[in-house]
Chain A
């Protein structure tokens, strides 16, 4: 049986992979996907803590409610974010973040 440490480490590695994508990729859609990876990594550690820290061997269901809320908010965020990306593409004809320099001083 895996321990809490292993779940948290896997969650941390998943978060690090998502962060790597945000830092290294230049395609705004792929950056957005990596943002979703980071949100999911936080969900994994929440569920792991819920399972390990409940009373009497039962999971702590409040944490799972929080994960449910996070997933719902993430779905809303994806819809709004993709609408913004579509609007951006209409205005600039690009999804490459290095081509978007209008806020450079």
Chain B
């Protein structure tokens, strides 16, 4: 039952992200959509991923989006001429994707399997412990690579956001 409520909320607000003309409304709809997605993770007993989703996406990433929208002072999109050829092409691509997905998912062998409750022993499925063990033992090298990637991203953002030297010299 909870699954249907949360997936309904998630899909509805994801649709609102696309439909809203004002980017601020889109960003706030995306926050609600991501909260629904975090709730879906919790229904799948992935509590750690659910918490990370709320902290990183609805916390950090969406604040960054809203901050940039505020910084650039973007107004609601004014209505322009609709390119019907692009619209039709997009609709065809979208329809083909949904049909393909439905066929692929429908022919999946394990598909109709229902969600079964986890075993009684609570020590066996503490997911923070299990994920942490996997990250720091089997995937330790990947974790360090990820650290390097984050460092490069940080440096890259600083370089990209810095004003060019000739801009400053030109008095802008």
| A37-B14, A67-B49 as given contacts; A82 in contact with B64, CB under 8 Å | yes
B interface footprint on A35-75 (CB within 8 Å = 1, 0 otherwise): 01100100110011011110011110110110111011111
Contact call B119/A86, Cβ cutoff below 8 A: no
Contact call A21/B56, Cβ cutoff below 8 A: no
Task: Kindly state the separation between the CA atoms of A53 and B116 in the bound complex, as whole angstroms.
Answer: 11
Contact call B146/A72, Cβ cutoff below 8 A: yes
A-B contact pairs, 18 of them (CB 8 A): A2-B115, A3-B114, A5-B105, A5-B112, A8-B108, A10-B11, A19-B93, A27-B74, A30-B18, A33-B27, A53-B110, A57-B116, A59-B127, A61-B127, A67-B46, A68-B49, A71-B57, A72-B56
Tell me which of B49, B52, B115 contacts A1 (CB under 8 A).
B115
Least Cβ–Cβ distance between B12 and chain A, in angstroms: 10
Is chain A's interface secondary structure helix, strand, loop, or mixed overall?
A: helix
A interface footprint on B108-145 (CB within 8 Å = 1, 0 otherwise): 10111111111100001101001100110011001000
Contact call B56/A57, Cβ cutoff below 8 A: no
| A10-B10, A21-B18 as given contacts; A40 in contact with B57, CB under 8 Å | yes
Specify which of B18, B116, B119 lies most central, judged by the most chain A CB atoms within 10 Å of its CB. Answer: B18
Task: Kindly state the separation between the CA atoms of A69 and B134 in the bound complex, as whole angstroms.
Answer: 12
A interface footprint on B5-17 (CB within 8 Å = 1, 0 otherwise): 0010011001101
| A24-B87, A59-B127, A87-B160 as given contacts; A48 in contact with B116, CB under 8 Å | no
Q: Which residue of A lies closest to B46 (CB)?
A: A47
Chain B contributes a number of interface residues (CB within 8 A of A) equal to: 80
Chain A contributes a number of interface residues (CB within 8 A of B) equal to: 72
B26 neighbours in A (Cβ, 8 Å): 30, 33
B57 neighbours in A (Cβ, 8 Å): 36, 40, 71, 74
A37 neighbours in B (Cβ, 8 Å): 14, 17, 30, 33
B residues 1-55 touching A (CB-CB < 8 Å):
3-4, 7, 10-11, 14-15, 17-18, 23, 26-27, 30, 33-34, 37, 40-41, 43-46, 48-49, 52-53
